[in-house]
Every structure is written in structure tokens, then in C-alpha cells.
Structure 1
């Protein structure tokens, strides 16, 4: 009987991996999970810093100026302060959106402890970076104290004005939907429905 069979794994299955591709807690699984956390936080930091720097730039250079046409009237850069959610809905509920963003960050932190999937790390990193970007605005932009207006500046024709944090959140959410439909879980296992 081989070592793999004695350990309860089929022959050819790497140590630290179960039959479904998840980890069994061996050293290989810990290293793999650590790399996924690095990927999650790297993607989150990149999305957050890109969002933060773009907002600082457009506030310094474009706020209180006429919109800049990127592609005629089809796409413009036009700075607004959005105290609501997407499409400026719920502008009187800024504190609620701040709490929701904080909850999203906590949920991602909880999921990250069991993260062994690179695609999930990327998706959650995008969500985390976007949530942190908009949460920073709500906490520190005027009037501050959980009621700050989010800086939105990407203005396509006949659509809502948004920012790079919103884009990261949408891309992360879209990736999560695809991963869920494909049956891939954050722990790296694949389930069949």
C-alpha cells in the first residue's frame, strides 16, 4: 500500500489536497492559502490606490470645472459628490451605505481565512479594494463622519456617473457570479449541482 493510499488519498493526489481539489491542511495547503491571501491583498491594494489617486487627481484638477469630453458626449469626465448608492439613489441613507461597506469588508476578511482559490482571491480583492475606496470617501470627505460624498467622475452618456471603486466592485461581483455558476468555491473545491 502506498503512502497516499495509507493517508486516504487516491494515488496521484498531491499531499495536502483532497479528491475535489481542496486542501487537507498540510503544509502545502497552508503555503497555497498564503499565496492566495497575498493575491487578494495585492489586488485590493492596487484597486484601492488606483481609485484613491484618481479621485485625488480629478478633485484637484476637474472639480468646479466644465466636464472634459473623452469621446465627445459619449464619455466625459465630470466630478460629482454622491452621498447615495449607485445612480445616486438613497442620498439620505449615507450612514446605511457606510455600514454596508464595512460589513462587506468584514465578510471578505472572514472568507479570506479559508481562501485557496486564485480566481476567488482576485474577485474578493476587487470587492475589497472598491469597498475600501468608497468607504474612505464616506469617512473622510465633506461633511465627514460616515456621511461623506463619494467622488464620482466617469460619466458615460445616458448612464450613471461612477468611479474606479465602483468598477472594481462590479467586476469583482461579476467574477463571483461566474465562479459560482462554474461551481468553484473559495476553498478551491468544485461542487456539482
Structure 2
């Protein structure tokens, strides 16, 4: 096994472990919410900022797309496949971890849509984190955090692929001390 194959296996293992752990936390918190909040009660955690309130959301963020739940579900399937492929293709552990959280978030909400469906992919997501202006869940937190981290990785120029690594090393060679001496 080459060093490159070993690193790939490590990144894939990290992707799988982080995604699995995150997915378990998401599903356990949703199971707790359905058991503890099923009678319509609200638990105040931080008055004015956070409470626990059970909501079944057929749509996407802020309930948008409630009438097209199956479309949202199909998009989530596509997103999960794309995130898994990207997680395997990246050469960066940072990208791999961020993509694994996005994958766990997308899959966590997709599981709800499948488990609580009355028809073809028309289930509702279990939301319970009530911020006053929106109600979400742990999977939503993963998606937001992953999105922010991915933007930061792009802005920092963190290489995603071998091509990016080569381009970065070519740029550093062209702007290194020898290039400064020629100027």
C-alpha cells in the first residue's frame, strides 16, 4: 500500500466515523425530542433565545417548499451522494471533516423524510430547537457549520484535490525566494 493510499483510507475512515457519530447524535436528539415533547410542551432552555418545541417540518429551511417535499428528498439523496464522493476525492482532512458534517446533516434530515413518510418521500423532518425566529434540529446545525467551514476553507485556499496541491506548489515556486531574487 502506498503512502497516498494510506492517506486516502485514513480520510475515508475519518469521514465515515465523523459522519456516523454526528448522525447518531442527530437521531438520538430527535428521538428524545419526540418522546419528551410529544404532548406539545415547550421547555425553556435560555429564556428569549432557545427553547425545545416539537415541530414536524415538511419543507426545507423555514418551512419553504412544504408542497414539494418529495423534490427536497430527492435533492437530499443527490446531495448525500455528491458529499460522499467529494469526501472520498479530497486530499485534505479539513475538507473531509467538513464534508462529513454536511453529509450527516443531509442524511439525518433525509432519514426523517423517509421514516415519517405517508407516501413517496413526503415525510416530515423532526425539528425541536426553537430559536424564536426558527425551529431546527442538530442536523441543521451540522449543515450550517459545514457550510461556514467550507467557505472558510475556500477563502483560505485549502487545497481540495491533487490538482489544487500542484497548482499551489507551482505558485509558491514561482513566487518563492528565487523569484524575488530575479526581480
TM-score band, normalised by the shorter chain? 0.7 to 0.9
Distance 1:71 1:112 in 2: 36
Distance 1:63 1:86 in 2: 22
Match in the other structure for 2:16? 41
C-alpha RMSD of the superposition:
1.7
TM-score of the two chains, using structure 2 as the length reference: 0.85
Unpaired runs of 5+ residues, structure 2, are: 172-183
Match in the other structure for 1:166? 140
Matched residue count: 167
Distance 1:142 1:103 in 2: 19
Distance 1:29 1:149 in 2: 42
SS at match of 2:136: coil
Distance 2:60 2:97 in 1: 24
TM-score of the two chains, using structure 1 as the length reference: 0.81
SS at match of 1:92: helix
| Greater fraction helix | 2
Distance 1:116 1:144 in 2: 40
1:81 aligned to which of 56, 78, 82: 56
Query: Would you say 1:148 and 2:118 are equivalent positions?
Result: no
Query: Would you say 1:121 and 2:96 are equivalent positions?
Result: yes
Unpaired runs of 5+ residues, structure 1, are: 1-25
Q: CA distance change for structure 1 residues 124 and 160 in 2, over 3 Å: closer, same or farther?
A: same
Q: CA deviation at 1:147?
A: 0.6
Distance 1:113 1:156 in 2: 35
Match in the other structure for 2:68? 93
Do the aligned partners of 1:138 and 1:145 also contact (CA within 8 Å) in 2? no
